[in-house]
Amino acid sequence: MTHDTASLPLQGLKVVEMGQLIAGPFASKLLGEFGADVIKIEPPGVGDPLRKWRKIKDGTSLWWHVQSRNKRSVTLDLKSSEGQDLARSLIAEADILVENFRPGTLESWGMSPETLAVLNPKLIMLRISGYGQTGPYRDLPGFGVIGEAMGGLRHLSGYPGQPPVRVGISIGDSLSSLYGVIGILLALEERRRSEKGQVIDVALYESVFGMMESLIPEYDVFGHVREPAGSALPGITPSNSYPCNDGTYVLIAGNGDSIYKRLMNLIDRNDLGEDPRFAHNDGRAAHADFIDAAIAEWTSKRSRDEVIEALKGARVPAGYPYTAADIVEDPHYLAREMIQQVTTQAGAMKVPGVLPKLSRTPGRIGTGGPVLGEHTEDVLSGLGLTPEQVDGLRERGII
């Protein structure tokens, strides 16, 4: 799917990305999908470590072509004074700077927020780090896994009495990216009035903590420490996974009052559906194991497909855990253009579509992840450097 880039909502905005791996680059990916010109600065020779993460084809990670699509790659040695000067020149012309280095790194390169604000008073600066730019932990290294742990998510993951498990993706990083993009959009709106930029400080652990629902007030008011509950959703009943007779599981969310009654009618347990104790969620939650057992008794006598079809007919929300194979073949994914075919340096491949969906100015997938330094000469020439100067920078290892 392609669109006229002139119609994209962030067209005309210039983003300089100084970061690597996930949190910062994922944020700028989202901006690039909606028209922002994203210039990604990478170390010469090696580039972003994500280029070598997970499955590799033709020397480059397949993940790279999702995370870095629509970006332009520029190589700069940011540890050198010449590289820092060039970075400042790019930032001087930018609307947004995205970085996810350890706090203090940019300052050591002469690019503190105060310095950059003098250089570019309208600059919006997104800083993503493990613990934020302030506080006693600010200097500690922090990856998404640590943010998930400190933010409270890992303690709730898994089954009681067993080691905590992780979601199979870098959810702490991605949540921080989403908060970062929200912050950028808020700052852009405010800049329309003030004509001033500002700094957005996003911490990985806080992004996870922000998802923890009623965790803190339950502890504060009742002294209740929420514990892992496996596949169930504590305090909300019924909402769990249930076994089928073909070795699979279905997920059923029958926790609405009217939905619960329809579910009980379907499984021939009207006695539970009409029981006044279970008319509302608080009563059902107090007897979650009993209700779950009744549902499991019904599902365990049927195949997954039989269960899903019966639940659809009864208008009870239900599904099953999709694999990648399920996703790429699902007609609903395809109808909503959430699986798209793109051409990259590694060949044609299926990739996730663009979110969110805008009715009039939807985002787009233009290019796959760039070759390391693919756009260095074009970008530096835009700063006024001659071909001879660019060659000199390359000879000195600056680019």
Cα–Cα distance measured from residue 74 to residue 42, given in angstroms and rounded to the nearest whole number = 6
Number of other CB atoms surrounding residue 210 within 10 Å: 13
Residues 6+ apart with CB under 8 A from 317: 252, 253, 254, 259, 311
Quote the pLDDT of residue 3.
Answer: 45
pLDDT tens for the chain, 399 residues: list them.
444 556 899 999 999 999 999 999 999 999 999 999 999 999 999 999 999 999 999 999 999 999 999 999 999 999 999 999 999 999 999 999 999 999 999 999 999 999 999 999 999 999 999 999 999 999 999 888 999 999 999 999 999 999 999 888 999 999 999 999 999 999 999 999 999 999 999 999 999 999 999 999 999 999 999 999 999 988 999 999 999 999 999 999 999 999 999 999 999 999 999 999 999 999 999 999 999 999 999 999 999 999 999 999 999 999 999 999 999 999 999 999 999 999 888 889 999 999 999 999 999 998 889 999 999 999 999 999 999 999 999 999 999
Quote the pLDDT of residue 7.
Answer: 86
Q: 351: helix, coil or strand? A: strand
Structural domains for the chain: 5-210+334-395 (3.40.50.10540), 239-243+249-319 (3.30.1540.10)
> Which residues participate in catalysis according to the annotation?
173
| pTM summary value | 0.92
- Mode of pairing for the β-strands spanning 347-352 and 339-344: antiparallel
Quote the pLDDT of residue 1.
Answer: 42
Whether residue 116 contacts residue 91, with contact meaning beta carbons closer than 8 Å, is answered with yes
Q: 369: helix, coil or strand? A: coil
At which residue do the structure tokens 């993951």 appear? 157
Question: Phi and psi at residue 277, in whole multiples of 5°?
Answer: -65, -25
At which residue do the structure tokens 């329809």 appear? 262
**Cα Rg of the chain, angstroms:** 25
Number of other CB atoms surrounding residue 138 within 10 Å: 16
Quote the pLDDT of residue 350.
Answer: 95
Alpha helices in the chain (DSSP H): 23-33, 64-67, 81-92, 105-108, 113-119, 144-150, 153-156, 171-194, 204-209, 215-222, 257-266, 270-273, 281-285, 288-299, 304-313, 324-329, 331-335, 376-382, 387-395
At which residue do the structure tokens 């006695």 appear? 271
Cα–Cα distance measured from residue 179 to residue 214, given in angstroms and rounded to the nearest whole number = 19
Output the DSSP codes for 214-266: THHHHHHHH-------TTS-TTSSSEEEEE-TTS-EEEEE--SHHHHHHHHHH
Residues 6+ apart with CB under 8 A from 50: 20, 21, 22, 25, 61, 63, 64, 67, 68
